[in-house]
Structure formats: structure tokens, C-alpha cells
Structure 1
Amino acid sequence: MTVYVLGGAQTDFARNFTKEGRGLLELFAEVVPAALADAGVSADDVEVAHVGNLAAELFTGQAQLGGLLVAAVPELDGVPSTRHEAACASGSTAVLAACADLEADRYDVALVVGVELMRNVDGQRAAEHLGSAAWAGHEAVAAKFPWPALFADVASAYDARYGLDPGHLGLFAEHAFTRAALNPLAQARDWRFPAAAFGPDDELNPVIEGRLRKQDCGRITDGAAAVLLASPAFAERLGGGFPRIAGFGHRTAHIGLAPKIASGGEYLFPHLHGAVADAYRRAGVPGPGALDVVELHDCFTITGLVALEHLGAAPPGGGGRFIDGGGLDAAGINPGGGLIGLGHPVGATGVRMLRDAARQVSGTAGETQVGGARTALTLNVGGSFTTVVTMIVQAAA
């Protein structure tokens, strides 16, 4: 059964909710009514809810987020809800669970909310909390910043296999900030950097861990995103014409980075390539040439480069040449800035990707619109490419 995206919303990812005296409750209270209004439905229409979140217990001491959702939006009292955690892919797994509910004909309308509050602690503490999604006690043990260290290891593994030009990573980051400047909800929309900030300048672009410099790294972000999903019958009652989730891929590998890298094969991460192939097959899409837009996970520049190759936009080892040749704009990669430019409130990212993909194929993406977009792909990863979720979203027929 096809699942339709009725509408959605996201908060302004530039905001620091703690400085505003706000928290998780206010994130829910802001994004859910906005999503309902955008979708043209009421809270009474919602029959099930799914919440994506990584680490609310660590950052805020708060669990039981389904109940917090009802506290924020009392009209949802009695609606069944489940919270989903898959590191940075938490939001996408929440979407898949909602789709399964609709496809099983249990419900006609599902609300999916992704939420993360991370700027209420200092950067070092935030890095430690986020490190819980790595293999605790087994990797990045001595690293000051666990995730930059692990993705620096990805960069080293890539370099050993193919050769890595750090200039290509700089170009990727520069593209992210250029696109974010067009997005009124992007965290980095007002940030401006001199050209040297994307190169090996130790003052403007200091090394964070290993091969990765400041501009290679996504930033700590507060935010929430929500979408309303519906069955064909309900979508038709609203008049139809909604974008649809046409296919998906979902695979999980060993939590540790080293075992994944040691797996061998044509691709650095075979399960990542497999998840994308699953989505193409389920959607009946022949491959990357049929895509107009890609919402690509780029928590680090190396993440984005690797993901480009695994979705087929470039051959293995060819991601740098693809970037250098202007492929990011030509292929509609991250038109709103991606995680580096737009922001990465971890549990919200997968939901935000779906919302933006649906807006693109509906022609309602504003200044970030890719002309004539009809088919979009989202690629969301959790951990060191441990959990992979990809979806293909298509315009109404």
C-alpha cells in the first residue's frame, strides 16, 4: 500500500531553546500544531504517533516522550505512541514504523515527530552524550570528540582504499553553507566564511580530530520536525494530489566501525549500498539517474562523499571528482544545506529529510526548490553507518 505525505513542519534550527527558557515540551508544542496546519488535518484525525529521538535521557533526564507529546498537545490524549532510537537515523525509523502501521491497515493517519535538544550543555558534554551511539568502551575511548574521531577514521580508510583529496571535502562544506544561505530555517543561514576557511588554514579551519577540520563537521543543533502520513483512502478524502513514499531501504550492521570497514567488498559499506538498492527496487526506480533531489546524510563531509558513491551518483572512489565537477548542484544534492548547513538535531533529521523531499516534489520548497523535481531520495544514517534508512518520495501522479 502506498503511504502519502500530507504535510509537515520544522522548527528554526538556528534557535537555542535553552537560552529562550524552553525545552523538549516546547519543541513538541511548536512543531506539531504547525505540521497539522500544513497538512490540513486536526489532532482528532491522528490515530497513531511515532517519536524519533536519540538521547533525551542524557541531555535532559527525560524519557517517556510519547507522554510528553500529549503534555505538549493535549488533543492527542489517548493516541497510541512509540518512541524510536537508531542514533542519527531515529527519525527515519519512526517514519518506517508509522508507514508499517498504515500499510497494515491499523490506522489511516499517523503523526511522526523527530526531536532533539542538545544545546543545553557545553560542547564537550554534548559530544560525550552523542558518543553513546558508538560502541561504548570499545572505540574512540581516548578521543576528545568521539564522532569526529570515528569519521576521521572513515576518512583514513577511504584514503587507504582510493586516495582522498581534502580539497574535495572543503568543496562539499562550501556547497552546504552556500545552499543553507537560501534556507530561512537553516542553522547556518547567516554564517559567512572567507574562502580560506575551507582549506588547510589552522587558524580559520582548525583540525578537530585526525583528518577532519572544523568545516568538515556538523554542529550541535536544537530542533524538531513533524510530518503527517496517511493511507490512500484518507488522502483521497482530502482531494488527493499528495506526494507518496514509493520505496524504502533499511539495513543495520555491526555497531563498531572497525568491523564494518574490515568487511571488504566493492563498496566501503556494502550494507549502505544494499539499502539504497532496496529502495530503488521497491520504488521501481532504475537508479540515481532518475532522481531529481537527494537529501543526503552529511554529519561530516566524508559522510556525504561516501554516501554519494553508495547511492550510485559516483563510482567507488569517484566521489571527489563528482564534487569537483559541480555534481552536487547538478544532481540536486542537499538543496537546503544538508546537515552541515541546515543543522542536525539528531532525532529530527530523518523526519526533516522526508518533509523537505515531499516539499521538493510538490514544488513548494521556496528558495531551495529544484526546478521540475518529481523524484527525491532521502539517505539517513545512524552511528558510523551502522543503521541506514533510505526512502524514495515521488510527486503525485
Structure 2
Amino acid sequence: MTKPAPVYVLGGAQTDFARNWSKEGKHFVAAMREATLGALEATRIEPREVETAHVGNFAAELYARQGHIGSFFLEIDPAFSGLPTSRHEAACASGSIALIAASADIEAARYDLACVVGVEQMKTVNSTVGGDILGTAAWYEREAKGIEFPFPKLFGRLGDEYDKRYGLKDEHLAHISAVNYSNAKRNPNAQTRNWFMSESHAQHESKFNQLIGGRIKVSDCSQVTDGSVALFLASEKFAGAWAKRNGKTLADIPRILGWGHHTAPLEFDTKVAESRDNTYVLPHTRQAILDAFKRAGIASVAEISGIETHDCFTTSEYMAIDHFGITRPGESWKAIEEGVIELGGKLPINPSGGLIGAGHPVGATGVRQMLDCYRQITDSAGDYQVEGAKKFAMLNLGGSATTSCAFIVGK
């Protein structure tokens, strides 16, 4: 792999994921505006300096009856009029695809400063309609049409496949849930920061923790979330000048050290059949991670300080543990029992609370993960800071792990 021009992460901002923008009577552009203006303020960047914008969004056409989402960036500030913008969609990995596209712009020297915005307004519809909309991230006609809450069932089947191949205990999934809820209490923007969840509660089915599909209970699920996140990616030229005017050096600024992007067959059954003779249940996800490692010049996950991973359900985090190489395939439970994944553990996962704790505004999740990686590397994550973080990884999935995007961020 050739060594591309470096892409620096200058910082950004996010909205409070506990908010319901529909109840506030606000359009999703208001969330985009708040996140972007917050990012401008946090980074001390002037609107006139922004040269292009990439917007990650999954389904505004369905949630808000609105397409052409990239154009809404121009509504944020008059200085953005005429700016080249684009919208990127890959289900729950839409934000990461926007990041990859913006990075490519920087690497190709087309632009020196790109704003990446992720946004989703999901609370415009009830849970039944929302579940059906999310089903379009799968093969709708074959996997979701007429099925109530199809995605919990699909990711429940991921757990079933682990159980079939290696064995899986629901108590380990409950522990993942409890850790993410606990971490979220430290995050001032987390959706569930004031919610109750204990490991005992997560282990047992009850009227407050009902089964939704297969082995998946409410406590195993990520949240339905409204929110937006914005951050800035820059070339070495812009980052150097920006660092100088802010009393920093280029070495102080995190950059994207490596990335990986793979697409698997859309149907979950096809994925499982394809991986039948592979020790990894989702080999394309594994390869995306390995590509990110290789591009970053690191040998293994042992060189990583922590991970922000796509826990749309506890089963997807269980998968991420062995796919990152923290354990051998099928042995994710060891890292859970040994406390490896906890804040303060050997390799914390989702110190932010992840999708289960922090929230999951679908198109914004990848951008939020990148922002949290930046916060960890710059020692600005507050109460959920991983001490001494040098390199942070993230994994963002679209569909039933159809799209897999991995990044390594560090200085």
C-alpha cells in the first residue's frame, strides 16, 4: 500500500444525544447547525476557511421526507454559499463513508480543509415505523418486510452463529451492556447518562427488559437517537498553519494513521455461508481492521490504547472483541471476564458509552466515534478519558456488518 498524504483531525463538536429535536419543533438542519457552529468554535476555524463539506446521513428521505442532504450545509452560515458538498449513505456506516471521502479529498490535494458532518433525526416516527425504516439497511424484501424490529433479530442471529460455532453465554452480553451504560454516565452528551441499568437487570427478561428478537433484549440494543456531529479534517499544510496560530506544533495534532473499508454480501445468511470455513464469523470486518492496522504501521491490537466500536447490539461488540484480535476467535468471553474491556482495563472498549450508552443517530455515529478517538488522543475526553491514550481504534458497521469501516487515530 502506498503512503498517502497525511490527514489531520483538528477537532469538532456534537449535540446532546439525549435531545428530541422533533419535540423541540426543530428540523435536522438545526442539529447540523449546532454541531458545525460548535466545531468551528472549538477549533477556532473561520467559516470562510472551509473548502468542502461531506455529510453522512442514512435515511432522511424516510425519517424526514427530505433528500439532497448535502445542500443543507449551506444553511449553516452565509460563508458556505457555493461550497462543494456531498451526502454519503451506507446505513449505520454513513458517517465513516463521509470520513473516507473527505480524507480522499485531502490526500488528493483537492482541498486543505474539509468539514465532515453526520446527522440523523430518528424520532419523527413511532418505534414500529422506525424499525421498518431501519430494515432498509438490510435486504428489505428478503429480510425485513413484514418483520417487526428486523435488526434485533438479525443481530440476534449473529449471537446464534457464535453460539453454534463456539458457545455463547447471555451473561457475557449482559456484562457488555452494563459496561456501556456505566461508561455513558461519565459522558455529558450520552443519551442514557441518567438511565438505570445494572448487570443483573440486563441478564433477566422482565416487563422493563423484554425480548425483542431471538436472544436480544431491550438492554442489548443501541438507542433510537436524534443528533449531529461535526469535525474538521485537514492537510498537513493547513494543519501546520492552524497549529502555529493556536500555539501548537504539528506533532500535537492527531491524524488518521490508518483505515480499512470492506463490503460484505447484503444478506446475513449469505455472510454466514461465505464464512463457514473461516475462524472469523465476519471475515470482511476482520479484514477491514487488519487493513487499518497495516496502513497505520502497527502489528496488532496490543499497540492500541482503546477502541470505540459499533455496539448496535451487544452481539456486535462481542464480535468486535475477537475480530480486533483481543482474543482468539470465539473467545471474546475471556476479555469480558478478565475486565479487559472496562474503563481502567487493559484495553477499554467504548469509554464514551458506545451506541448502547451514548446513543446511535445512525448517520452521525461514525463521525461521533472519530471525534471521541480525537478526544482520547488529545486528553480531552473528561471523565471517560483513557489514561495515557496514544492510539485509538474505531469500528463502524453498516447493515448486518455489510459495510465495515475501521480507523486508527493517533499522533
> TM-score surpassing 0.5?
yes
2:203 matches 1:192: no
Residue by residue over 1:148-188, the C-alpha shift from the partner in whole angstroms, topping out at 9 and shown as x without a partner, is 01111111111111111000000000000000000000000
TM-score (normalizing by structure 1):
0.98
Contact kept? 1:143, 1:149, Cα under 8 Å:
no
Contact kept? 1:360, 1:373, Cα under 8 Å:
yes
Residue by residue over 1:340-374, the C-alpha shift from the partner in whole angstroms, topping out at 9 and shown as x without a partner, is 00000000000000011011011111111000001
Greater than 4 Å deviation, 4+ residue runs: none
Structure 1 residue 194: Cα displacement? 4.7
Aligned runs of 1:1-397 on 2, under 5 Å?
A: 1-239=5-243, 240=250, 241-263=252-274, 264=276, 265-329=278-342, 330=345, 331-395=347-411
**Cα distance in 1 for residues equivalent to 2:146 and 2:79:** 47
Contact kept? 1:140, 1:150, Cα under 8 Å:
no
Contact kept? 2:135, 2:145, Cα under 8 Å:
no
Contact kept? 1:199, 1:205, Cα under 8 Å:
no
Paired-residue identity, % = 44
**Cα distance in 2 for residues equivalent to 1:376 and 1:210:** 33
Residue by residue over 1:313-351, the C-alpha shift from the partner in whole angstroms, topping out at 9 and shown as x without a partner, is 121111122112111122121101000000000000000
**Cα distance in 1 for residues equivalent to 2:108 and 2:333:** 42
Structure 2: which amino acid aligns with 1:309? D
| SS of 2:408 mapped into structure 1 | strand
Structure 2: which amino acid aligns with 1:356? D
Contact kept? 2:205, 2:217, Cα under 8 Å:
no
| SS of 1:113 mapped into structure 2 | strand
| SS of 1:16 mapped into structure 2 | coil
Structure 1 residue 28: Cα displacement? 1.3
**Cα distance in 2 for residues equivalent to 1:63 and 1:141:** 23
**Cα distance in 1 for residues equivalent to 2:145 and 2:36:** 38
**Cα distance in 2 for residues equivalent to 1:51 and 1:85:** 9
TM-score (normalizing by structure 2):
0.94
Structure 1 residue 195: Cα displacement? 4.5
| SS of 1:328 mapped into structure 2 | coil
Structure 2: which amino acid aligns with 1:351? V
Contact kept? 1:173, 1:340, Cα under 8 Å:
yes
**Cα distance in 1 for residues equivalent to 2:325 and 2:77:** 42
User: Any unmatched runs of 5+ in structure 1?
Assistant: none
Structure 1 residue 61: Cα displacement? 0.5
Contact kept? 2:8, 2:256, Cα under 8 Å:
yes
C-alpha change, 1:253 and 1:194, in structure 2 (3 Å) is closer
| SS of 1:201 mapped into structure 2 | coil
* Worse overlay, 172-181 or 40-49: 40-49
Structure 1: which amino acid aligns with 2:269? A
Structure 1: which amino acid aligns with 2:182? T
